[in-house]
Structures are given as C-alpha cells and as structure tokens.
Structure 1
C-alpha cells in the first residue's frame, strides 16, 4: 500500500479510487442485482432470494472443508512438494507435473512466479506445460465446489480430464522439442532475478504440524479468512446469477445454443467458454443452471475446461513468460482438449 499523500490533492483521488473499487466487488454486484429484481419484479424477489440462499447453504459445507484444506496446505508449505516433481527423468517429470497440477493450491496468478522459476531453473518445457495445463483446471477448493454444484461424477471427471490434458500437453511438447521446436521458450529478458522471487525451493520441507510454530499458525488464520471471504463473495454472486438464469432466461434459448446431441454444441460451448469464463468458483453454479435449462453434460464440461485454460489470468501468465509460438500451442491444446474432453465425458 502506498503512503497517503499529505498534499491537498491527495485525499480526493484516493477516496474516489476506493469508491470505484468497492462498486466493482462481487458483494456490490450481488446486492445491485437483487435490488433490481426487487424493483422490477417484486413478485419474484422471494423466489430468487430463496434459490440463491438455499444453493449457497448447500455448498457451505464444501466451502468450509475447502478453505480448511487450502489453509492447511499453505501453512505447512506443502507446495514445495510440487517443485520436487520437476527433478529426474523427463517422462517422470511429465507424469508428476500433470498429477500435481491438479493438487497444487495455486490460483492462476500465484502460478506465474512458480512457472517462471521452474523454467529459469532449467525444468523442461514439456513438464512445465503439463503442470500449466492441469493447474488452472482443478485444485482442492474447485473440486469440492464443483462437487457441491454439479455432483461428484462431474467433479471427478474434471479432475481426471485435468491430469489427462496435462499428460497430453506434456508429451506433445516433448515430441515437438525432439524435432527441434521450442529450443528457447522464454521471452528475451526473462530471468530468475526478475520473475522468480516466489519461485520453487527444492530444499524446503513441509511442516505438517504447523500449529507448533507461531508464524505458521498466523499464516493458517490469514489464509482461512482471506480464502473464506474470497470463495464466499464469488459463490454468493454465482448463485444470484444462477437464480436469475433459472428464473428469467428461457430454457429453449439455452437448448438452441448448447443443447442437443453431437459435437457441434460441445464445440460451441468451448468457443463461448473462452471469452465468457469468470473463474473456477463461479462457473459450476452457473453451469448447474444452464444444465437445468437444457445444456448437455458434455457441453458443460467443454465450457469449463476451455474457460479455465483460456481465462485472462491463465493466458496472461503464459503470454508474459513465453514466446508467441509457445502461447499459441498452449491455447490450441487447451481448446482442442476441451472439445475432446466434452465429447468423451458426454459418451461416458
């Protein structure tokens, strides 16, 4: 945080900035949407409130467990175990990177210094890409929230797809590198000194009994509060949006766009999911509403996978570190993998 200026011109912009920032929060959007319903359609206000509150209460148990698990992983320093996956034979690294990509408690922003550090330390692009493709798709909170909104079949299916997509990307890159591609994947000027201050530390060890150290207990409390509020505000907005979707969007409109059998609805869902995606916590409740309106399970899975891989933070992370050809390959594998995943999930 910057210091507050002492001159006369300082306070006004500061207050204005705070006000504008507050207006953009999920809490404010949720309240404004509910106020709009109360004014424009007061007869349906109770139904919208009841739907959103009931759905949020149902998911509350998953939120609590997810926040506790994430706080524990952060307090113990368990993410250091992920860095050890990038040591040894390349094939082994790809398998472990794809597996840990679905387990690591990293968001799309936190993964940037981690990935930068791995590349700077000399980890092969194939293993890094396996982790990079799998990591945005699933993590412990996303798994539990997806299960709460869409069921365990969908949540487990997404976790399996995350690992499979990571393996596909890793071995595809390995094959291309064997033919001479991607010899220097990093953009010029990207060095460990500029990117890796929060990168992996191979010599660190997790401290599973974190409560024995005051600093780690503090870390646990901070993570519990910050992650709890983060998930709560986004899921509250998600369920308000789902209530609006179910009550006001005609089912036949959804069915026409992403309903029906075949490959076309799944491909359309992937292409729509790329620019329209919000984040992995908002998507499951919204997709639950879309599926009630006629969206197929395959299209929903395709939407989630494409959206996670091509979300703004994920793409920004790739673009900021690697050359355009690596970025294009990442994006192409993500979209094609989303379509194939949707087709396979629909068949199963």
Structure 2
C-alpha cells in the first residue's frame, strides 16, 4: 500500500496542472481588477448605494460582482459604505455578491470549469444578493418605507455623507493616467495578490490532494445523490474560509471526481460568502437579525440554485456525474508555463514584501 510520501509527487503534479490551466486567467483577472481600482472612482460606488431603495440594493449587487474581494476583505469596504450612508439592504447585497464572485474568479471558472458554470455563478450570486438585501430591508421595523424611497428617475436618494467622497474623487481626478494605471496595477498585483495569492495556492494544492487521495468510486457510492451531495458541500462550505478564486480549483477537482454541478455551485456560492471568522463582524455591522437573514438566504438560494443547475445540465443532455470530463483535454503550452511562473513570482514577492513591512 502506498504511503503519503509515495503519493506526494502525484499531488504536486496534479496541482501544477491546475496552476498551468488557471494562471493565464488569474493574471488577466488581476489586470482588469487593477483597471477597476484605477478608473472607477470611489464616489461612483458610494453615490449609487446611498439611501434605502431597491435600486440601491440592485446596484450594490451589480457593483459587487466584478470586485475581487474575499469574505474578509469585503468587510472594511462594506463598513465604509455603511458609514457613508448606504442602507442595510445595499450593504447586505454588497457583502454577498462581492465575495461570491469577482472578475478574477470568473476568469478562473472559465479556465477550470465550463462556460455554463462561468455564466451561472455570477448570475446566481447577483440574484442571491438582491434577495438577501430585500429581505433585510423588509425586516427592519424602523424603516417601513425603505423600499419605496426612490426619486422619479429611479435613483436612490443621495446620502448627505457622499460629499466627502466627491471631494476625494475630485482630488483623485487630478492624477495623470499613468499614475492611476500604475496605482491600480500595484493594488492588483501587490496588495490584492498578497491577500488572495496564498489562499489560491492553498486551493490549488488541495485540488491536487483531492485528485490523488479521493477515490471517484467512493464519491459515487456515498455522494451520488444530488440532495446529499449538496448538503455535504453546504456543511463543508459554510464555516470554511475560502475566497471565490481559491474555491474554484477545489470545486474543479471535486467535479472531475463526479460531484454534480449543483453541489459544486453550492460550494462556490456558500464557501466565499460565509465563514466563522467574518460572520461575527457581519452581525455587528448590520445587526444580529439581519445577519441571520443574510445566512439563511445564502443557504436557501444556494440549494435552490443547485437543484436548478442540475436540471439545466440534464436538459442540455449532459450526465451530471460526468459533466466536467473532457473539458480540460488540451495540453498547456509555453504561455501557460510562463504565466504560472510569473504568478508564483508575484505571489512570492508580495509575501516577502509584507514580511519586511
């Protein structure tokens, strides 16, 4: 019987294969994240999330989708939005849609999973965030008219606290294109990569462990039932700290072992949006009752979406136990190898810079 050390080369080989597949898309995702940071003013975000309207909730959900922040990284951003006048519903929506997906995780989903899951993931994240935001708003007894406070043009009433953001925006507008671009790229490939990089590598390594140590026959025997597999993924995902990008290689490894797309989607949605570390902060930010609604909506919507996506794959003529087989048949070339080495170098550089600081 093989020992753990005997299987270590297989784990490293499988992990390297995942890194080769995902590295070019990771770099592309971080590049666009840098562009968002450089050229999307803070005043644009805060100015559209002020007030307590359905419009603010929808905008918060939409604005959160491309932002590449994890469930802990989103907390200070959400706290800032709340302080600047965003309603509890909008803050809740932002807290869900932002960590559940991001421009970097969308790119990695395309590379490691399939086009259908790449589209479904942000769509379900948006719907979940809107549902949770509305539910939190409706639950607030002190704000009975919260969902109807909109101007005639459908925009949320601006908060008086956004003027300071306008001031910062006007000052930022004096920066040159070069300064903005370099600042955005530093944020993406140093600050953001420093936050996400180690967790992404953890996810890549864990995907290798799953590929080598978990037998497909075991999963087929015990988790072939779509309802049971979703329940197990939910139990694993809710307390686990894993960002949207890092969860993707883990999900891909499980899918290649036969886990249904619905269960994979549950893991991709519930894992990044909920974890033990951040839940207490969320509760202090939006209130205990709203936090429980936040958690309940995520769990409910994840399970409903899981069931629906299974049916969607079945209607597409696919076997949900083999839906990812054959998706990764091409051989990575020199571009993938170069991207993988560059990504590792950037993660290492950001890590050592933080150590020095």
Report the TM-score when normalising by structure 1. 0.73
Q: Which residue of 2 aligns with 1:280?
A: 244
1:94 aligns with 2:57: yes
SS of residue matched to 2:23:
helix
Give the unaligned 5+ runs of structure 2: 147-163, 313-357
1:224 aligns with 2:189: yes
CA distance in structure 2 between the partners assigned to 1:204 and 1:87 by the alignment: 17
Q: Which residue of 2 aligns with 1:336?
A: 300
CA distance in structure 1 between the partners assigned to 2:311 and 2:259 by the alignment: 15
1:106 aligns with 2:69: yes
- The structure, 1 or 2, with the larger RCO (C-alpha pairs under 8 Å, 6+ apart) is 2
Q: Which residue of 2 aligns with 1:144?
A: 107
SS of residue matched to 2:100:
coil
CA distance in structure 2 between the partners assigned to 1:55 and 1:331 by the alignment: 31
The 3 A distance-change label for structure 1 pair 90 and 291 is same
8 Å Cα contact 1:210-1:217 kept in structure 2? no
CA distance in structure 1 between the partners assigned to 2:69 and 2:197 by the alignment: 18
Pick the aligned partner of 1:315 from 259, 267, 279: 279
| Aligned residue-pair number | 294
Pick the aligned partner of 1:168 from 131, 134, 137: 131
Q: Which residue of 1 aligns with 2:316?
A: none
8 Å Cα contact 2:39-2:180 kept in structure 1? no
1:239 aligns with 2:204: yes
Give the unaligned 5+ runs of structure 1: 1-36, 184-199
Deviation at 1:125, TM superposition (A): 1.6
Q: Which residue of 1 aligns with 2:153?
A: none
The 3 A distance-change label for structure 1 pair 202 and 136 is farther
1:126 aligns with 2:89: yes
Q: Which is further off, 208-217 or 230-239?
A: 208-217
8 Å Cα contact 1:277-1:283 kept in structure 2? no
Deviation at 1:107, TM superposition (A): 3.3
1:258 aligns with 2:186: no
RMSD: 3.2
CA distance in structure 2 between the partners assigned to 1:331 and 1:308 by the alignment: 12
8 Å Cα contact 1:134-1:163 kept in structure 2? yes
Pick the aligned partner of 1:304 from 268, 271, 278: 268
1:248 aligns with 2:213: yes
The 3 A distance-change label for structure 1 pair 107 and 302 is closer
